[in-house]
A and B are shown apart, each in its own frame.
Chain A
Amino acid sequence: MSTATESRPISTYLFRRPRVRLFSLLALPMTWIVGVYILSLFLLLITAFWYVDPFTSLVRPGFTLDNFQAVFTEPAYISTSLRTLWIALAVTILSVIFAVPLGLYMAKIAPAWLRNALAVAITLPLWAGYLVKIIAMRLVFTEEGFFNWLMAPFGIKGPGFSMPIVILTLTYLWFPYMALPVYTAIRQIPTNLFDASSDLGARGFMTIYRVVIPLITPAIIAGSVFTFSLSLGDYLAARFTGGATQMIGSMIAANINLNPPMAAAFSMVPITFVVIYLMVARRTGSLERM
């Protein structure tokens, strides 16, 4: 025994001191995340109080609240914030509307082989590439695109690149994040709850409304964290499928070269929205499911 102890001084030392082991495990990753990422976010906050020299157009350290004041008072910033919020909500609602029937079919009606096939079919597009999917939506809704070709016999013409298409594109991008947790949650509902509901006289739709929906609400909230926050911060969907539609991200990106302090101040808006949303979701206990 003593020979083993003597031959492995470092192992013995670490074995006896869990705190040192924990520290040596965390030192490198925490130095990286805090020293690189959190520090960058903090420096971004600092920059939000700086200003651009009007003569040299260089960023100057200093302290001004002008940038934050602009975020809260200039109509362009306010309307963009509200529009982005509304788009993110619309994407989330649209995703729920499709995810619930899809999850019900997959979990409770489809035979096993079809259920598995559908689960793969929903997961795969997540990895097909973000930009690729935006290009694909462009091809569908462009003037000489698939949608107009398909609808031409009915005399229907697509809206062109505009806010509804941005909502559709964002739904296309993030829908699997809602569909998968909702499906998993519906699968976990015990079958005898449906029997009980039916014995008590509830028809199919009543059962869905009174039994299924309440039980899967945590899953919906977990999914909405993704659909909501990913939509909130997005800007390429708006840029390529939105026509003139501006989102928070587009205004941050537009400012980063001309007026970095302004971009920094406006960046705090999506951070605040996402953090508030995460905190609300956390209170409902939905985040443990993720």
Chain B
Amino acid sequence: MLRLSRATKAFLLVVVAIVLVFMYAPLFILILNSFNESQISGWPIESFSTKWWIFAKDYQPIRAALLNSVLVATGAMIIASILGTLVAFALKGFEFFGRATVNLLVVLPIALPGVVTGVAFSNTYSNFLSPAGFNIGYFGMIVAHATFCIVMVFNNVFARLKRMNPHLQEASADLGAGLWQTFRLVTFPQFRTAFVAGALLAFALSFDEVVVTIFTAPPGVDTLPLWILKEMARPNQASVVNVVATVVILLSLIPVYISQRLTQERQ
């Protein structure tokens, strides 16, 4: 056992406490400020009220932004689920030249800075596609999001496939099932939870993303994070932004929570 003096243990405990306060205090201050009666956020909060929550509920720009966020995240999730699963099957079932490159290509969109990815897409859309007479508009945002979401589905499905028994598929083929029937009845039920978990993470990742969205959103279209960003650019932080931020925390944590539950059940 690691033998540490009492003083060292106390020191470690203090570090743990500092880390926890550092990680959670700002979030709590933010959530509390969503109940700040005053229009401008600050600390300490003079009086609490739910008026900004009620205001945000019916405020049209927020509703429109929420709808856009859900649409984009859903579109990106569907595309990423299909593409990520296909890559996972390819890398699981085959040893081939360029395997490491394919792996790298899937990770690259999330490994490179968001600003580079965003600028690259924006450059293609406005300096190449537009002059060619093709206006990608709303779909450009979904394309960009789907690209960096593939890795989420890939990671989850690939991890599950690696632990699956390959003989079950062979047994299924021996019993006369075709590839599609085997996939539907034997393979898919085994990785379904990992597939759903990956898809939910892709949704959460897209829902939260802002940097790539800045460069790919068509003019006049806001996602929820984009709406927050525009409000933040104003000099005084309005309490209504904190309401939306709190909603974003909840809406990203719910899919992640379900996703964790799904992957843990199988372990």
Partner-B contacts on A (CB < 8 A): 4, 8, 10-11, 14-15, 18, 21-22, 25-26, 28-30, 32-34, 36-41, 43-44, 47, 59, 98, 101-102, 104-106, 108-109, 118, 121-122, 124-125, 127-133, 135-140, 142, 144-146, 149, 172, 175, 179, 191, 194-195, 198, 203-205, 207, 229-230, 232-236, 240, 249, 252-253, 256, 260, 263-264, 267, 270-271, 274, 278
Which chain A residues border B249 with CB–CB below 8 Å? Answer: 128-129, 132
Interface centre among A8, A14, A18 (most CB of B within 10 A): A8
Q: A105-B16, A135-B30 are in contact. Are A122 and B123 (CB under 8 A)?
A: no
Q: A130-B208, A139-B26 are in contact. Are A270 and B3 (CB under 8 A)?
A: no
Interface centre among B105, B108, B112, B113 (most CB of A within 10 A): B113
Residue pair B12, A105 in contact (C-beta under 8 Å): yes
Partner of A267, one of B93, B102, B119: B119
Residue pair A135, B245 in contact (C-beta under 8 Å): yes
Q: Which chain B residue shows the least CB distance to A230?
A: B113
Supplied contacts A33-B105, A205-B8, A236-B211, 5 more A-B pairs, CB within 8 Å: A10-B179, A32-B83, A128-B252, A136-B30, A271-B113
Q: A29-B83, A194-B1 are in contact. Are A271 and B116 (CB under 8 A)?
A: yes
Q: How far is the CA of A229 from the CA of B115 in the complex (A)?
A: 12
Residue pair B123, A10 in contact (C-beta under 8 Å): no
Q: Which chain B residue shows the least CB distance to A290?
A: B107
Q: Which chain A residue shows the least CB distance to B211?
A: A236
- Chain A interface mostly: helix
Interface centre among B33, B119, B178 (most CB of A within 10 A): B119
Q: Which chain A residue shows the least CB distance to B256?
A: A127
Interface size of B as a range: 35 or more
Residue pair B33, A256 in contact (C-beta under 8 Å): no
Task: Compute the total of residue contacts between A and B using a CB distance below 8 Å.
Answer: 263
Q: A37-B147, A131-B228, A136-B26 are in contact. Are A204 and B3 (CB under 8 A)?
A: yes
Which chain B residues border A36 with CB–CB below 8 Å? Answer: 143, 147
**Can you give 20 contacting A-B residue pairs, CB < 8 Å?**
A15-B179, A22-B90, A22-B94, A28-B83, A28-B86, A29-B87, A32-B79, A33-B83, A40-B123, A41-B120, A101-B15, A132-B30, A135-B30, A194-B1, A204-B3, A234-B113, A235-B211, A236-B210, A240-B232, A249-B115
Residue pair A38, B105 in contact (C-beta under 8 Å): yes
Interface centre among A36, A40, A194, A235 (most CB of B within 10 A): A40
Residue pair B253, A139 in contact (C-beta under 8 Å): no
Nearest-Cβ distance from residue A225 to partner chain B, whole angstroms: 8
Which chain B residues border A203 with CB–CB below 8 Å? Answer: 5
Tell me whether B55 is interfacial, beta carbon within 8 Å: no
Q: How far is the CA of A105 from the CA of B84 in the complex (A)?
A: 37
Partner of A33, one of B25, B106, B117: B106
Which chain A residues border B187 with CB–CB below 8 Å? Answer: none
Residue pair A139, B29 in contact (C-beta under 8 Å): yes
The 8 nearest A-B residue pairs measured at CB: A233-B113, A136-B26, A11-B178, A204-B4, A101-B15, A25-B90, A40-B120, A29-B83
Residue pair A136, B2 in contact (C-beta under 8 Å): no
Residue pair B15, A121 in contact (C-beta under 8 Å): no
Which chain A residues border B29 with CB–CB below 8 Å? Answer: 136, 139-140, 146
Residue pair A101, B111 in contact (C-beta under 8 Å): no
